[in-house]
Amino acid sequence: MKKIRKAVLPVAGFGTRVLPATKTIPKEMLPIVDRPALQYVIDEAREAGIEHFIFVTGRNKGAIEDYFDRAYELEYSLRENGKTDIYDQLSRDTPKPGSMSFVRQQSAKGLGHAIWCAREIIGSEPFAVLLPDVLIKSKKSCLSQMVGAYKKVGGNVIAVDAIPHDQVSKYGVINPQKREGNIIQMSGMVEKPNPNSAPSNLKITGRYILQPEIMNILENQAAGINNEIQLTDAMARLMQNQKFYAYEYEGKDYDCGSKLGYFEAVLAYAKDHSEIGEQARSMIKRFSQ
Ligand code: G1P
């Protein structure tokens, strides 16, 4: 079984639901307390053993590349002023040279198309996909939990979570069959179903472990709902001839691409923050009185 070393992070989206904040700042760079949302996703992936990150970017996303670069003047000034804690933090967060690749999605043709843009860098290895809109707060990182499941069952593994039935039309939804612990066998999946015909209330949460053959399928995948090339449609085809499992992870996800989801994420991470957590908790209490 090949190790999951590479991860694809699609970051080309406009972030229209949190405009105008995202007019000049990529939505992935919006701060959750003192770290960009994207940094939490990188931390999650690193914990799972990811060594190489492939960003599928678009126009106006230069801040992401800059964020992962060294900032010599800043580092010099922090060292001169004895601010070693933040200096050490920046050093830990800066990736090793050569561990990141950037590829452009030249036109917004959907998530499936974004993943396909990374095919040359993925080559013939299984890989992870993390949608950076979605932050997952958990004891053990969500992708680590999935890698644990993958080591047991192999094939393809996608994260799922139960949601209120009236929400299913916003997500990819699976058709679950047999369950063993957190691992669920499936007979299908569908993107943004009508609640009346949805196969379940188990939504796909934006974390995937995929075999490289998905790229061949995406190569000729027709546009699906919303006239976009959907990763879910390609996965449903891959399921016909490869092992495919859903994994019900332990943790709570936040959709930072929406106003309320972003706000909730800030509250959730602030209340557990090592420096401001205690004050944040009493502040939240004051607001709820
Ligand atoms: C994408 C996927 C969908 C998944 C969702 C998770 O949808 O297509 O299957 O459930 O992310 O956030 P999007 O949010 O891009 O519409």
Instruction: Locate the domains of the chain by residue range.
Output: 6-288
Surface-to-core class of residue 67, CB atoms within 10 Å of its CB (0-12 exposed, 13-18 middle, 19+ buried): middle
The residue type found at 216 is: N
Tokens 């970017």 sit at which residue? 57
In sequence order, what DSSP letters do the residues of 168-185 get, joined into one string?
Answer: GGGSEEEEEEEEETTEEE
State how far the Cα of 95 lies from the Cα of 98, in Å rounded to an integer: 8
Atom of ligand 1 nearest to the CA of 110: 15
Measured by CA distance, the residue closest to atom 8 of ligand 1 is 172
CA end-to-end distance (rounded Å), the chain:
54
Supply the pLDDT for residue 14: 84
Supply the pLDDT for residue 13: 86
Tokens of 46: 């690193």
Atom of ligand 1 nearest to the CA of 232: 9
Atom of ligand 1 nearest to the CA of 133: 12
Asked whether the bond before 95 is cis by omega within 30 degrees of 0, the reply is no
Ligand 1 centroid, distance to 131 Cα (angstroms): 8
Give which of 136, 15, 114 is closest to 57, Cα–Cα.
114
Atom of ligand 1 nearest to the CA of 171: 10
Ligand 1 contacts (CB < 6 A) are: 111, 131, 134, 171-172, 191, 203-206, 230-232
Measured by CA distance, the residue closest to atom 11 of ligand 1 is 206
Beta strand residue intervals within 72-182, DSSP E: 100-104, 127-130, 134-137, 156-162, 172-180
Give which of 59, 54, 53 is closest to 14, Cα–Cα.
59
The residue type found at 149 is: A
Ligand 1 centroid, distance to 172 Cα (angstroms): 6
Surface-to-core class of residue 25, CB atoms within 10 Å of its CB (0-12 exposed, 13-18 middle, 19+ buried): middle
Name the residue of 17, 56, 105, 131 whose CB sits within 8 Å of the most ligand 1 atoms, as the mutation to test its pocket: 131
Supply the pLDDT for residue 109: 93
Cβ(108)–Cβ(10) below 8 Å: no
Supply the pLDDT for residue 9: 98
Measured by CA distance, the residue closest to atom 14 of ligand 1 is 171
Give bridge partners of residue 255 from the DSSP assignment: 134
Name the residue of 171, 235, 253 whose CB sits within 8 Å of the most ligand 1 atoms, as the mutation to test its pocket: 171
Cβ(247)–Cβ(182) below 8 Å: yes
Q: Over its length of 289 residues, how does the chain's per-residue pLDDT go in tens digits?
A: 889 999 999 999 888 888 998 899 999 999 999 999 999 999 999 999 999 999 999 988 999 999 999 888 999 999 999 999 999 989 888 889 999 999 999 999 999 999 999 999 999 999 999 999 999 999 999 999 999 999 999 999 999 999 999 999 999 999 999 999 999 999 999 999 999 999 999 999 999 999 999 999 999 999 999 999 999 999 999 999 999 999 999 999 999 999 999 999 999 999 999 999 999 999 999 998 8
Tokens 């934006």 sit at which residue? 206
Atom of ligand 1 nearest to the CA of 172: 9
CATH code for the domain defined by 6-288: 3.90.550.10
Asked whether the bond before 199 is cis by omega within 30 degrees of 0, the reply is no
Atom of ligand 1 nearest to the CA of 191: 9
Surface-to-core class of residue 59, CB atoms within 10 Å of its CB (0-12 exposed, 13-18 middle, 19+ buried): exposed
